[in-house]
Structure 1
């Protein structure tokens, strides 16, 4: 074998190894699962407001079409409309600003994270927030059941400051 033949075999082998690595890496990146984290919860009468941080590190966009809250004997779906949760009037321009609950479907672009405030209305139970809260997410057509232990429960004063941040 000549030197040129040896070099061409080495280059062809390296090209094959790199293309195989690229194919495996692309397959892996497409199949990374969407992750959901519970940031905080707030109970307002018979309504539960929940802030989820949704992380999609896949190379494809992800969509959450439905979110269900399972509480005692009831299962409640998240609101399908953007319900107003707070408003504020700008004193300089006298323009009103409104903050709304996010409604499904929720779209998360590839390789990004987003925070959503989701509302569950018309709950029958008196005690909504418990040590363990169960949710069902329909992510890209697949049912995903998750249980969370709420670490941050906001009272009415704290929710006011959190929602004012959405108005900015």
Structure 2
């Protein structure tokens, strides 16, 4: 009697193939890196306020540890603490404040997050740039990304409208 005619052989073969597929699929899903896109940015008084969409397609948590803005051979580091972006006062005497996100930022698996960060002490020539270079430190890996600017916000009113959802 041949081993190929035994049902236990076929069950073992099918289960081995399924286990191999599961292992390869898990390794592939874990190895996916963050996808980052620039929503908008604002340059005022030597400070850039930038909004990024960060998507984690991986099946594990990812941590965005640092962001550097690269311009003319210099690195400008993101403020790693929540920075005050705007304040609003109401007629009844109450006031609310919009803050930027501080570093590090944890991104859950298979989810996205909108991140607003600030860079300070920058030259004014940045406004003319068509592409912006950012270096992202994700977990322990560095990723340099050239992002084309699709929307620039220079007007203070536009910036405040974008920050309305961040008021606390």
TM-score (norm. length: structure 1): 0.89
Deviation at 1:10, TM superposition (A): 2.1
**SS in structure 2 opposite 1:107?**
strand
**SS in structure 2 opposite 1:22?**
helix
Q: Distance in 2 between matches of 1:157 and 1:107?
A: 30
Q: Distance in 2 between matches of 1:137 and 1:60?
A: 18
Deviation at 1:167, TM superposition (A): 2.2
Q: Distance in 1 between matches of 2:15 and 2:52?
A: 43
CA contact (8 A) 1:99 1:167 kept: yes
Matched, 1:8 2:32: no
**SS in structure 2 opposite 1:60?**
coil
CA contact (8 A) 1:48 1:128 kept: no
Matched, 1:132 2:131: yes
Deviation at 1:73, TM superposition (A): 4.3
Matched, 1:79 2:40: no
CA contact (8 A) 1:56 1:111 kept: yes
Deviation at 1:89, TM superposition (A): 4.1
Partner of 1:167: 167
Q: Distance in 1 between matches of 2:6 and 2:94?
A: 75
Residue segments in structure 1 that go unaligned for 5+ positions in a row: none
CA contact (8 A) 2:42 2:49 kept: yes
Partner of 2:37: 37
Q: CA RMSD in A?
A: 1.9
CA contact (8 A) 1:79 1:120 kept: yes
CA contact (8 A) 1:84 1:98 kept: yes
Residue segments in structure 2 that go unaligned for 5+ positions in a row: none
Partner of 2:156: 156
**SS in structure 1 opposite 2:6?**
helix
Partner of 1:116: 115
Partner of 1:99: 98
Q: Distance in 1 between matches of 2:149 and 2:142?
A: 21
Question: Per-residue displacement from partner, 1:90-119 (whole Å, max 9, x unpaired)?
Answer: 567x54322101121111111111110010
Q: Distance in 1 between matches of 2:19 and 2:94?
A: 57
**SS in structure 2 opposite 1:118?**
strand
Size of the alignment, in residue pairs? 164
